[in-house]
Structure 1
Amino acid sequence: MSLIQTMIRRYAAFSSVSPFLQRTRAFSSTSPSLAKKGGKKDNAKSSKKKDIVDDEPDVVLDPKSILSNLKTKYDDSFTQFSKKLTELKMGRANPALFDNLKIKIDDKYTATFPEVAMTAMKGTNFLNITVFDPNHTKRIVSAILESNMNLNPEVDPKNAQLLKIKLPNSTKELKEKQIKQMKELLDQYKSNVSFKNSLQAIRATFMKDLKNVEGSKDIVRKLTTDIDSTYKTYADKLTTAFKTTEKSLN
């Protein structure tokens, strides 16, 4: 047995196993399904080590587990994409618009917007901001005016803790900008290999791991086909979500 094979067996026995590997009790010195790529077994030494190997867990390829893990990662990626796509569609008509805004309370403390106020849609053209402490109203107004969002909050004359913001009407230029941003988001989540949550990056990681194992050629070939098919299925889901959202803007 090679050093690499020995390390794989110890890894399978004493640590969490890669989704490509599954632990079983070994009844022979090599797994019929998979072994890490390495040197050929030395037949002269194998008989002396056979009894030791027989007591160690063997490593086999587990296609069902691999595809399940792949789909879980793709589902997470699709969920992230859908959320960001919705945010782009909503544009300024988004209650979470100010969530990252910083509000300077005093010289010693700067709060995040959600700590001092909350936002809600009022119809389709207005945002209402409820300020928790009326002493913070002016500070919130100043922060919004200084944020370069081109939004003008107005204090309700009957309620110092209520701010109203009229949203600008959607224009052709604004829609074109939104669609461009959505297309960039689609490309990022579908094919940007440098973005770890993209479908292509996830696929590349699985394919790289698959190249490091060997076993039944038919099993590996079938698994490779299934990985590619799963990628295409999720790529189509992303594209469909993009086209549906794009159509809703027109």
Structure 2
Amino acid sequence: MTMGPRASSAMGTVRCIRMGVRSPPSHHRRPFTSTPPSARNHKPPPPSNPQPDDDPFDLFPLSYTIQSALAKLKSDLATLRAGGRLNPSAIEALKVKFRGKGGKEAKEELVRLGDIAQVLPRGGRGLVVQVLDPDHLKPTMQALLGASLNLTPAPLPGQPTHLYLPIPAPTRELRLESAQRVQKAGEVAQNSIRGARAVVHKKLRGLVVGKEKGKGVRVDDVRRVEKGMEKVVEEGAGEARRLVEGARKAILEG
């Protein structure tokens, strides 16, 4: 995953916090054993399902989860800002019905438009559907006309297998609907961020008041990591709010 400036800042925060915390001292002694050296040197095979590092002082998993939530949010918002259901991927998802080879006796087939054609953006408010097989041109046009998307496909001059789709300007109702979807996508991201914070907070609280209390963990260290946790969470939540606000403004005023 490619991290942006804010992601790098969050990762830097995690590293600084981690370096400032002293790990609990180990009180284990190596027990006496009569096992031969050859047996002691033999390492068992690694488990088939290795468990992740469960160090409560390590904030990297928290930061990684937040950055993953932000990456998904950016992807969802880009789709909504591009026109929601009228973007190329939505057109490719339409179903096209046609008969296979064999004439009237052949069975009807239902396939994705994206499997028999390419959908490419053209200009600011248009798409071009390039049908790969001329026999699929008529069924593809019928699928576009019957999609209830107010589309008017027309062959391009000199390119009979290319259909041009002028995308109508979104109505006020469509803009409001897209803005609501933007808000919902932001709520999903914020829930992911809050959930990641809750996991870390529970582990840190367990070091102070839970079963791990008194096992060489300093309260000051726990508080220091808690402050770092809140900083990482607030940076992620703030970025999510900015992304949502920018997308809503672009949709409603664009």
Same fold? TM cut 0.5: yes
2:197 aligned partner: 203
Matched, 1:97 2:90: yes
2:114 aligned partner: 114
2:3 aligned partner: none
Partners of 1:239 and 1:28 in 2: CA distance: 46
Partners of 1:60 and 1:182 in 2: CA distance: 34
Partners of 2:54 and 2:186 in 1: CA distance: 36
1:242 aligned partner: 244
Aligned with 2:69 (options 32, 52, 77) = 77
Instruction: Answer yes or no: is the 8 Å Cα contact 1:28–1:53 preserved in 2.
Output: no
Partners of 1:210 and 1:144 in 2: CA distance: 56
List gaps (5 residues or longer) in structure 2: 1-22, 34-39, 41-52, 101-106
Instruction: Answer yes or no: is the 8 Å Cα contact 1:121–1:127 preserved in 2.
Output: yes
Partners of 1:160 and 1:135 in 2: CA distance: 11
Partners of 1:76 and 1:209 in 2: CA distance: 21
1:189 aligned partner: 189
- How far 1:143 sits from its partner (Å)? 2.4
Note the aligned Cα RMSD (angstroms): 3.0
Classify the secondary structure of the residue corresponding to 1:177: helix
Instruction: Answer yes or no: is the 8 Å Cα contact 1:93–1:124 preserved in 2.
Output: no
2:166 aligned partner: 166
Partners of 1:205 and 1:90 in 2: CA distance: 35
- How far 1:113 sits from its partner (Å)? 2.7
Render the CA deviation track for 1:20-67: whole Å, top value 9, x for unaligned.
xxxx9x8523xxxxxxxxxxxxxxxxxxxx543999xxx99463xx22
Percent identity among equivalent residues? 21
Amino acid at match of 1:28: H
Instruction: Answer yes or no: is the 8 Å Cα contact 2:97–2:110 preserved in 1.
Output: yes
Partners of 2:110 and 2:32 in 1: CA distance: 62
- How far 1:199 sits from its partner (Å)? 1.3
Highest RCO, 1 vs 2 (Cα 8 Å, sep ≥ 6)? 2
Whichever structure has more strand as a proportion of its residues is 1
Partners of 2:222 and 2:96 in 1: CA distance: 56
TM-score for both structures, normalised by structure 2: 0.65
Residues 53 and 79 (structure 1), Cα distance of their counterparts in 2 relative to 1, 3 Å cut: farther
Instruction: Answer yes or no: is the 8 Å Cα contact 1:95–1:121 preserved in 2.
Output: yes
Residues 110 and 209 (structure 1), Cα distance of their counterparts in 2 relative to 1, 3 Å cut: farther
- How far 1:142 sits from its partner (Å)? 2.5
List gaps (5 residues or longer) in structure 1: 1-23, 30-49, 192-197
1:229 aligned partner: 231
- How far 1:208 sits from its partner (Å)? 3.6
1:4 aligned partner: none
Partners of 1:53 and 1:185 in 2: CA distance: 58
TM-score for both structures, normalised by structure 1: 0.66
- How far 1:112 sits from its partner (Å)? 2.6
